[in-house]
Structures are given as C-alpha cells and as structure tokens.
C-alpha cells in the first residue's frame, strides 16, 4: 500500500473519507441495553481501506478506526443515556491483534504516522468520554489481546481478561517488529495503569505476553474470569458501574441529538461546508482555512438555554462549525500531505462571538451544552496536533474572537492588520480561560504567555474587543502590520516558511506548541512525533532486512547494533 511521496507518485488512491455512520459499519456491531452499550469488534478481513492485505484476527487499519471514532462520537450525542460501554470481540479466540502488520509494512512513512496519530486521538476520546461524560469504557478481552489491541484496552477504564490458559495481553512491537507500540501503550502502562517499570520492561520484551493471575498482579488487567463465566461477570460489573455513574451527571432532558452527514461541496481544489471552507494548492504546498463565526440568531438560540438547545441539535453553530473544522483538518492531514502551510482566517463580528461564548458557557450544566464544549475542545486539540504550519491572518473582514481566537493562539504565528479604514477586532471570551484546554492541560492563552504571568493575569476575565494596537500591546499578536506593509511582509513570510524542511518544522512546532508541564496525553503525542517517527524510518525496523519488513517471513532481521 504505497502512498504517493512528495516527489514521485506511482500509485494513486481516492481521498480518505473520515465520515461514516452505523449503516455503513463493516467492522463493528453496537447493541444497547438501557444504560449499557456493547461494542463488538468483528473485523471484516476483506474490507480494507486500501488494497494489498487482509485484516485477519481482528487486526485493524485506518478504516476500522474511523468506524470506532464514529461510534465513540455518536455515543456521546446520540445515546446520552449510556453510562457504560463494553468493548468486546466477535472473534472466539482473539480480542484484537492490533494494527495490521502487512498494512504497516507496506505503507509509506507518512501514512503510518498519520494512522498512529488518528488512532491515538480516538483512544484519547475514549478516555475523555469516561472522564468528562460519564460514559465509562470497559474492555472485555475475550481472547488474545496484542499490540494495538491491548492499547485499545488500555484506553478503557477497566480491563477484564478471559482466563482460559491461552488468552494473554501483550505489547510485542519491540521484540517482533523493531518498533514501539504506536498508540500510547508504553505511557499508559506506567502513567495510567501504574505498572512498575521493571515489570513493564519484562512485559514489553516478552512477545507472548502475560496471562491469568500474573496479569492481574502486574496491574495489566483488573481481573480475570473463566471462559464459562466471562460474559456473566463482565455484565455484572458493567451494571454496577452504570448505577454508580448515574450520580452527579449534568442535567437536562437526555434526548438524543443525531449527527447527520456534513455533506460539503467538494471540488478539485476545495471543500466548502456551511461554516468552514478549506482550499488548497498541492503544487504550491499552501492551503487556506476559513471559519465563519456565529450570527445573532445563533446567540439567541443559546440564550433561550436548557432544552431549547436540543431543538437546534446538530445545527447548533458551535457543534456544526467544529464538526466541519474537524473534518477539514483530517482531510488536510491525510489527503494533502504535501501542503506545508495553512493560512487561517476567522470571519464574523467579534462581539457576537463573545456573546455566543458567554451564552454557551451558561449552558455548561446542561448535558448537551457540556458535550458541545467538550467537542470543541477536542477539535482544537486536533488542530494543535496537526503537523502543518499554521499562520493566523487577521486581515480585513476577520474576527479572531472567543472560541475562534483559539485558532490564532494555536497557530504558529498571528499576523494582524492595523488599518483604520478596515478595522479589525480581537477578543477573548469566557471560554478562553479554561473550557478549551490543550493536551497538556493548559489553556492556549496560558501556553501563549508561559513565562509572562503578569500579561496573563492582566487579561484575566477581560472579554472586551480590542483594536489592533491594544491587542498588540497586550501581547496577543505576533506581527502587527499596517496596510502598506501587509502584502509584502506576509508574502515574504509565507515564501520563507514554505522553503524550510518539513521534517525540521514538524519537530520544531511540536516542541514549541506545548510549553510547560506534561500530562499523560501530551507525553503520548510528543513521543509519537519524536521517537516513533524516528524509529519508523530506521533500517532496523523498516529497512530491507528490518524486523517490520521481514515479519512473517522465515528470514531473521539483521540489526545495526550501534546504540545512538
């Protein structure tokens, strides 16, 4: 499954579509029993997202994970009654064999890394649902649970393993493939499961894994049950968890909110949604991303409050716009890998956006209002974690305010036009001060002013729209330009950025975007971008005699034994 490289393309594929729905699932079945949902993974071996391999033993590729991501997203909006989600397998002997090895071995480097990043984000969303939405995920590992399959289980709050003498959990990537677990397995072992690091060392270098009581003792799973009682015991635990989880949940009528297709208008150079437009020039390696802000009517819907939000449903601006932004980012990531720089614009009226955020924040105690804000936060974290350069362009007609100012704060630079004939306003909102955190737990505003606490404190609670000079004085702008210099200075900046090595820029941006302390989540992404990215291109893994390249063949890998 070769993907086109930046310079040559011998094989072409249709663009990946990240939208799906339950009527199109090929790999999962979902059943609902009151407050408990059961997600059964039963991968169709022949339903690969690209030709050239079989998805045997419940192994997965990007297409499988696109379905899982859709399940997790829909569960929060379309099934708010669910308190526990049990993930199990429809395969009698295997829970999940992890990422498909033949797919990985034949994929381009860029495809592998983007695949790992998306699966990471799906697993983080599982944890986000457990922590913030009262939908607790439980892994019912009714068979062998290996590699990415165990990483999927690690994303769940509780893990139960079948005790039948054969079922084991394992992370065999190091001994078998010469790479690392690609979706946070190592970090979740030590930081989440609190597995002692010497035991983790043994576990991660033992290809056959650990089973039975030893898996419980080492904290790799929460309990083991015999095959004859496995389903019964998991069902009992799920019901107990569901009863406990029902306490302290946000209020409001838990009426489902369906998520219809976004159905953008697509051309060879653009995707146009209701509130978002993405255009690109693959040859110039440049894209333009525009988000149109809410109207006064959108604000009025929120000001009605409570269950009135449910009447708007998926058309609520904050949900619809950020669903569109999410889809545009994913499309950009995987289908336009040559694009290096994205110019971001936010259009609308600054005060209207601030008023929108104020009204939305007042609905955070309603389950749907809360879910919308949580969704906005996840999409913005996807933006933070996208390996493209982002320049926010505050020219005439823009309104980087409130939730849309997060796009400027998350960008690598913010250029702002200072032209009295075309006044531009910049504003923070109530959502700027904690509702939309980054992967490492900080607000983008706090990350922006890391090391300048006085400036951060001076802006606390300040939601008044600012003119360009005021915004610059407050430290919210990278470069302030008048109308005479705007065109030339931004053109030079764009040309310079596009002339730089994309590899170096990706590493630089990933370092600079996340100052301050780390969390388990930020560690996972930082290590994926650095170590796994590096290991994926080392000959010991992906060279002609590398472990990943030779997996399943009789030849033994040949390693360069130098430690570097």
CATH code of residue 140: 3.90.226.10
Per-residue pLDDT at 200: 97
> Looking at the structure, do residues 218 and 354 belong to the same domain, yes or no?
no
Task: Specify the pLDDT at position 306.
Answer: 82
What is the structure's pLDDT at 535? 87
* Same domain flag for 282 and 225: no
Question: What are the tens digits of pLDDT across the range 448-504?
Answer: 999 999 999 999 999 999 999 999 999 999 999 999 999 999 999 999 999 999 989
Does residue 407 lie within any of the structural domains?
yes
Tokens read off for 446:
């706090």
pLDDT in tens, 491-542: 999 999 999 999 899 889 988 999 999 999 999 988 877 777 788 888 998 8
3-class SS at 173? helix
Give the burial class of 60: count Cβ atoms within 10 A of its Cβ; 0-12 exposed, 13-18 middle, 19 or more buried. buried
Are the CB atoms for 444 and 409 separated by under 8 Å? yes
Q: Please give the pLDDT value at position 527.
A: 81
- Give the ranges where 43-108 is alpha helix by DSSP (H): 62-78, 101-106
Location of structure tokens 């604000």: 299
- Which DSSP state fits 430? G
Mark whether 223 and 293 lie in a shared domain.
Answer: no
Burial 353-363 (b: 16+ CB within 10 A, else e): bbbbbbbbbeb
Residue 390 DSSP code: E
**Residue 136: which region, alpha, beta or left (left: phi > 0; alpha: psi -120 to 50)?**
beta
> What is the per-residue pLDDT for 9?
39
Comparing 201 with 113, the larger pLDDT belongs to 201
Regarding whether 289 and 239 lie in a shared domain, the answer is: no
Mean predicted confidence (pLDDT) in 337-359: 97
Tally of residues, the chain: 564
pLDDT of residue 92: 85
The C-alpha angle 133, 134, 135, rounded to 5 degrees, equals 90
Considering the domain architecture, whether residues 361 and 501 belong to the same structural domain is answered as: yes
Name residues whose C-beta falls within 8 Å of residue 279's C-beta, 6 or more positions apart in sequence: 269, 270, 287, 288
Judgement on whether residues 73 and 199 belong to the same structural domain of the protein? yes
Q: What is the pLDDT of residues 144-196, one digit of tens each?
A: 999 999 999 999 999 999 999 999 999 999 999 998 888 889 999 999 999 99
The last residue of one of the domains, among 492, 512, 532, is 512
pLDDT of amino acid 536: 85
> 351 and 218, same structural domain?
no
pLDDT at 530: 76
Task: Please classify residue 275 by burial: count the beta carbons closer than 10 Å to its beta carbon, then call 0-12 exposed, 13-18 middle and 19+ buried.
Answer: buried
Q: Is residue 51 domain-resident? A: yes
pLDDT at 316 over 70: yes
Highest mean pLDDT among 246-250, 529-533, 548-552: 548-552
pLDDT of residue 459: 96
Q: Is residue 558 pLDDT above 80, yes or no?
A: yes
Count how many domains the chain has: 2
Final residue before a domain boundary, out of 191, 212, 245: 245
User: Quick one: pLDDT at residue 396?
Assistant: 96
Q: Which residues pair with 158 in a beta bridge?
A: 138
Between the alpha carbon of residue 51 and those of residues 100, 108, 111, 377, 425, the distances in Å are: 13, 14, 14, 35, 50
DSSP helix/strand/coil, 366: strand
The predicted pLDDT at position 4 comes to 36
| pLDDT tens, position by position, 375-415 | 999 999 999 999 999 999 999 999 999 999 999 999 999 99
Q: What is the pLDDT of residue 32?
A: 97
More confident residue, 529 or 548: 548
Query: Percent of the chain at pLDDT above 70?
Result: 98
- 301 and 214 together in one domain: no
Site of tokens 């929120």: 302
Do 299 and 208 lie in one domain? The reply is no
Report which DSSP code applies to 434.
T
- Structure confidence at residue 5 as a pLDDT band (50, 70, 90): very low
Dist CA 412 CA 525 (whole Å): 18
* Interatomic CA distance for residues 52 and 70, integer angstroms: 25
Query: How many whole angstroms separate alpha carbon 192 and alpha carbon 487?
Result: 49
Q: Is residue 12 part of a domain?
A: no
Query: Which residues, including other chains, have CB under 8 Å from residue 54's CB and lie 6 or more apart?
Result: 45, 46, 48, 100, 102
Residue 547 lies in a domain: no
Residue-wise pLDDT for 16-46, tens only, equals 999 999 999 999 999 999 999 999 999 999 9
Residues 233 and 346 in one domain: no
Instruction: Please compute the mean of the pLDDT values over residues 305-333 and round it to a whole number.
Output: 96
> Does one domain contain both 384 and 481?
yes
pLDDT for res 552: 86
pLDDT at 7 over 50: no
Q: Pick from 90, 87, 89: which is nearest to 135 by CA?
A: 87
DSSP string, 290-305: EEE---HHHHHHHHH-
- Beta strand pairing status for 144-146 and 98-99? unpaired
Write the pLDDT tens digit of every residue in 47-97. 999 999 999 999 999 999 999 999 999 999 999 999 999 999 999 899 999
Please give the pLDDT value at position 531: 78
Question: Is pLDDT at 231 greater than 50 in this prediction?
Answer: yes
Give the C-alpha separation, 480 to 448, whole Å. Answer: 17
In a domain, 252, yes or no: no
**pLDDT reading at 3 higher than 60:** no
Residues 344 and 469 in one domain: yes
pLDDT of residue 12: 65
In-domain check, residue 258: no
Written as one string, the DSSP assignment of 493-542 is HHHHHHTS-HHHHHHHHHHHT--S---HHHHHHHHIIIIIHHHTTSHHHH
Element (H, E) at 333: helix 317-335
pLDDT for the residue 507 = 87
**For the CA atoms of 470, 473, 477, 483, what is the dihedral angle to 10 degrees?**
60
Domain assignment of residue 409, yes or no: yes
Which residues are CB-neighbours of 103 under 8 A, at least 6 positions away? 1, 48, 50, 52, 53, 59, 61
Contact 428, 462 (CB under 8 A): yes
For residue 83, what are the domain limits? 22-245
Handedness of CA 293, 295, 299, 304 (dihedral sign): negative
Is residue 44 included in any domain, yes or no?
Answer: yes
Q: What is the structure's pLDDT at 11?
A: 55
Closest CA to 41 of 85, 10, 83: 85
Cα–Cα distance, 8 to 4 (Å, whole number): 6
Q: What's the whole-number average pLDDT of the chain? A: 94
Nearest to 66 by CA among 80, 83, 84, 50: 50
Contact by Cβ (8 Å): 448, 382: no
> What is d(CA 169, CA 305) in angstroms, rounded to the nearest whole number?
47
Pick the last residue of a domain from 215, 245, 275. 245
Average pLDDT rounded to a whole number, residues 333-342: 96
Strand partners, 415: 393, 479
Phi, psi of 451, rounded to the nearest 5 degrees:
95, -5
């Amino acid at each position: 499954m070769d993907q086109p490289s930046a310079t040559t393309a011998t094989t072409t594929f249709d663009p990946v579509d990240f939208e799906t729905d339950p009527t199109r699932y090929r790999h999962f079945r979902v059943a609902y029993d009151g407050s408990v949902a059961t997600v059964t993974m039963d991968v169709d071996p022949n339903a690969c997202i690209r030709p050239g391999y079989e998805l045997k033993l419940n192994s997965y590729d990007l297409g499988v994970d696109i379905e899982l991501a859709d399940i997790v997203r829909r569960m929060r909006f379309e099934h708010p009654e669910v308190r526990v989600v049990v993930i199990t397998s429809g395969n009698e002997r295997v829970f999940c064999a992890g990422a498909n090895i033949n797919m990985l071995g034949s994929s381009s480097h860029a495809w592998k890394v983007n695949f790992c990043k998306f699966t990471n984000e799906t697993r983080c969303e599982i944890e986000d649902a457990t922590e913030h939405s009262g939908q607790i995920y439980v892994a019912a590992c009714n068979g062998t649970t290996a590699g990415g399959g165990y990483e999927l289980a690690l994303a769940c709050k509780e893990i139960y393993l079948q005790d039948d003498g054969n079922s084991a959990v394992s992370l065999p990537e190091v001994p078998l493939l010469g790479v690392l677990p690609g979706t946070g397995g190592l970090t979740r072992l030590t930081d989440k499961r609190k597995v002692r690091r010497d035991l983790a060392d043994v576990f991660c270098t033992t290809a056959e894994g650990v089973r039975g009581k030893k898996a419980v003792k080492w904290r790799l799973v929460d309990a083991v049950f015999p095959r004859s009682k496995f389903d019964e015991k998991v069902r009992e635990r799920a019901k107990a968890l569901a009863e406990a989880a029902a306490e302290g949940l946000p209020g409001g009528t838990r009426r489902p909110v369906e998520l219809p297709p976004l159905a953008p208008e697509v051309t060879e150079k653009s995707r146009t949604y209701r509130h978002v437009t993405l255009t690109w020039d693959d040859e110039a390696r440049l894209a333009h991303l525009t988000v149109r802000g809410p109207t006064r009517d959108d604000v009025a819907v929120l000001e009605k409050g409570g269950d009135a939000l449910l009447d708007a449903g998926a058309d609520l601006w904050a949900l619809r716009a950020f669903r569109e932004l999410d889809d545009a980012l994913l499309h950009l990531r995987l289908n336009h890998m040559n694009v290096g720089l994205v110019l971001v614009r936010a259009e609308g009226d600054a005060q209207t956006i601030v008023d929108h955020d104020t009204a939305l924040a007042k609905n955070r105690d309603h389950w749907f209002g809360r879910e919308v804000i949580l969704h906005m936060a996840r999409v913005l974290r996807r933006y933070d974690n996208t390996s493209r350069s982002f320049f926010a362009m505050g020219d005439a007609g823009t309104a980087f305010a409130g939730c849309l100012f997060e796009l400027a704060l998350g960008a690598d630079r913010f250029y702002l036009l200072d032209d009295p004939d075309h006044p531009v306003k910049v504003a923070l909102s109530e959502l700027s001060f904690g509702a939309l955190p980054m992967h490492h737990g900080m607000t983008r505003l706090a990350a922006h002013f890391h090391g300048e606490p006085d400036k951060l404190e001076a802006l606390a609670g300040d939601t008044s729209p600012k003119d360009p000079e005021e915004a610059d004085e407050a430290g919210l702008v990278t470069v302030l330009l008048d109308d005479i210099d705007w065109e030339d200075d931004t053109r030079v900046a764009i040309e310079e950025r596009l002339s730089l090595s994309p590899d170096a820029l990706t590493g630089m941006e990933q370092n600079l975007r996340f100052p301050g302390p780390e969390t388990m989540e930020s560690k996972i992404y930082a290590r994926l971008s650095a170590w796994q990215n590096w290991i994926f291109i080392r000959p010991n893994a992906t060279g002609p005699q590398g472990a990943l390249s030779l997996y399943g063949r009789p030849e033994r890998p040949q390693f360069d034994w130098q430690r570097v």
